[in-house]
Amino acid sequence: MDNNMVLATLRYDAKVKETGKSYNAQAAHLWTLDNAGKIIAFQQYVDTKKLAEAKQ
């Protein structure tokens, strides 16, 4: 991306220990860097419905 921002798309394939339920959720990470290339902000976007269902 531009304006010192990096976008990464990914998937979480995991299991919740407490319930034993697995989930596969799509996610995106948005990183903002300063002019020296150091991370100054991070935001995660994820399918929270899948996470919530796995915790029930």
- 36 and 15 in contact (C-beta within 8 Å)? no
Whole-prediction pTM: 0.74
Q: What is the mean pLDDT of the chain?
A: 94
Residue 1 has pLDDT above 90, yes or no: no
Question: How buried is 50 (Cβ within 10 angstroms: 0-12 exposed, 13-18 middle, 19+ buried)?
Answer: middle
Pair 44, 26: CB distance under 8 Å: no
Q: What is the CATH number of the domain that holds 36?
A: 3.10.450.50
How many distinct structural domains can be found in the chain?
1
Confidence of residue 44 (pLDDT cuts 50, 70, 90): very high
